[in-house]
């Protein structure tokens, strides 16, 4: 007997069945938009050196992505904007004035090695931009730890002292200095933690004020200096529901609690300097390399904050945000497995 035909056919598939009006390119575009305020502030404070670094990183990442897809004989993924975002994030994690050929090398590593070798977007175990930054820090330690002081606006008119600000008006191209994190590490180290230490007051005077930390008028990576700009971008991502509050709050909260318990530098200094806000809101929240459950995100964020502070306090490098996130990226599959909810009715 011939079976009766059914006009309406339904395809059965596993959950979830909810449809979201979003796409990879839309999510990437939202993150890029959220990074525009800190990008602008980085260029404002560090000038053309920062702008060239950003342009070179983005262009190299896009070119490398296209060439890799051609070599792998796979469809082009340049249009999903993930390569643009990787280049922008990498540039924002670099010091202004780094030689451009090093920025090119880091960008090629981010796309070709940290991303496409594993199969492309969605299959990389580590955040490509952070993996490239770690590669560059190990390979080019000197340039990666050489920091420019922010530009002295109006220097030609006021005749400012070149020993305290960068001037592009005279023979001095740029002045390098220590980051607030490096200053705090020496200031609050075990052998000079007491305010009676001979150099404590002098070191304290070199730290930027709260307002300077907030707006970004201090040495550091291009995109990590302006906490205010980063928070504006994070608020946009939360509004667009691109990220949730779990990882940023757990990350920053753990840094604050550790700072209070350890008795070292004040919590606001640890949060507003270095890569804590950039890492917590834009790097650790990467969809591919972060947990999928709310409980897992809290564990992931707390682990990032704890490792960051342990590296800052006991490591030989003042900053530990990048390595903390990369370590937690490696633990992400285990966290997902531990926190995955059981199906309804399962024992």
Statement to judge: residues 326 and 192 lie in one domain: yes
Give strand pairing partners of 177.
147
Domain assignment present for 163: no
- 15, pLDDT greater than 60: no
User: C-alpha angle 78/122/341, rounded to 5°?
Assistant: 150
Domain assignment present for 167: no
CA distances from 197 to 151, 166, 200, 202, 312 (A): 32, 30, 5, 10, 21
Residue linked to tokens 């920091």: 147
Closest residue by Cα to residue 301 from 339, 272, 268: 339
Statement to judge: residues 106 and 199 lie in one domain: no
Tell me how many domains the chain contains: 2
Q: pLDDT over 90 for what percent of the chain?
A: 54
The parent domain of residue 118 ranges over 24-147
The pTM of the full predicted model, rounded to 2 decimals, is 0.83
Q: pLDDT over 70 for what percent of the chain?
A: 77
Statement to judge: residues 211 and 331 lie in one domain: yes
3-state class (DSSP) for residue 151: strand
Statement to judge: residues 190 and 297 lie in one domain: yes
Statement to judge: residues 230 and 288 lie in one domain: yes
The beta-strand segments (E) located in 67-175 are: 147-148
Residue linked to tokens 């990048």: 322
- 251, pLDDT greater than 80: yes
pLDDT of residue 343: 72
Statement to judge: residues 197 and 328 lie in one domain: yes
Choice between 233 and 159, residue whose per-residue pLDDT is larger: 233
CA distances from 302 to 76, 246, 327 (A): 37, 9, 13
CA distances from 96 to 32, 162, 167, 197 (A): 19, 18, 15, 33
Q: Which secondary structure element, helix H or strand E, spans residue 90, and what is its range?
A: helix 82-92
Q: 317 pLDDT band (50/70/90 cuts)? A: confident
Burial class from Cβ neighbours inside 10 Å (0-12, 13-18, 19+) for residue 8 reads: exposed
pLDDT of residue 39: 96
Residue linked to tokens 């931009």: 129
Statement to judge: residues 248 and 142 lie in one domain: no
Domain assignment present for 153: no
Domain assignment present for 239: yes
Domain assignment present for 156: no
Statement to judge: residues 103 and 219 lie in one domain: no
Domain assignment present for 228: yes
Domain assignment present for 29: yes
Give strand pairing partners of 166.
151
Statement to judge: residues 107 and 232 lie in one domain: no
* Distance separating the N- and C-terminal Cα atoms of the chain: 44
Cα gap 174→171, rounded to integer Å: 9
- 120, pLDDT greater than 60: yes
Statement to judge: residues 193 and 233 lie in one domain: yes
Statement to judge: residues 194 and 314 lie in one domain: yes
Average pLDDT taken over every residue of the chain:
82
């Amino acid at each position: 007997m011939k079976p009766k035909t059914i006009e309406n056919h339904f395809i059965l598939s596993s959950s979830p069945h909810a449809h979201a009006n979003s796409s990879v390119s839309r999510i990437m575009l939202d993150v890029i938009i959220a990074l525009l305020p800190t990008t602008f502030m980085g260029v404002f404070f560090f000038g053309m050196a920062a702008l060239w670094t950003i342009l070179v990183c983005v262009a190299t990442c896009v070119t490398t992505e296209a060439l890799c897809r051609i070599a792998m004989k796979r469809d082009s993924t340049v249009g999903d904007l993930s390569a643009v975002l990787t280049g922008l994030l990498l540039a924002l994690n670099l010091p202004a004035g780094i030689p451009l050929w090093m920025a090119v090398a880091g960008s090629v590593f981010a796309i070709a090695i940290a991303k496409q070798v594993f199969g492309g977007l969605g299959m990389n175990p580590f955040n490509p931009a952070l993996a490239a930054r770690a590669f560059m820090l190990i390979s080019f330690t000197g340039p990666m730890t050489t920091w420019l002081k922010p530009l002295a606006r109006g220097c030609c008119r006021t005749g400012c002292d070149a020993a305290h600000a960068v001037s592009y008006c005279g023979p001095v191209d740029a002045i390098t200095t220590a980051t607030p994190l490096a200053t705090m590490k020496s200031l609050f180290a075990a052998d000079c933690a007491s305010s009676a230490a001979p150099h404590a007051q002098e070191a304290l005077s070199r730290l930027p004020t709260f307002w300077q930390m907030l707006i970004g008028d201090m040495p550091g990576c291009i995109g990590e200096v302006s906490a205010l700009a980063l928070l504006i971008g994070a608020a946009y991502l939360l509004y667009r529901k691109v990220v949730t509050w779990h990882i940023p709050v757990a990350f920053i909260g753990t840094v604050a609690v550790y700072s209070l318990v350890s008795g070292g530098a004040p919590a606001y200094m640890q949060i507003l300097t270095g890569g804590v806000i950039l890492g917590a809101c834009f790097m650790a929240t990467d969809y591919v390399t972060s947990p999928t459950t709310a409980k897992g995100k809290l564990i992931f964020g707390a682990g990032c904050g704890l490792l960051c502070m342990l590296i800052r306090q006991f490591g030989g490098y003042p900053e530990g945000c990048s390595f903390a996130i990369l370590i937690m990226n490696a633990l992400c599959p285990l966290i997902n497995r531990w926190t995955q909810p059981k199906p309804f009715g399962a024992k």
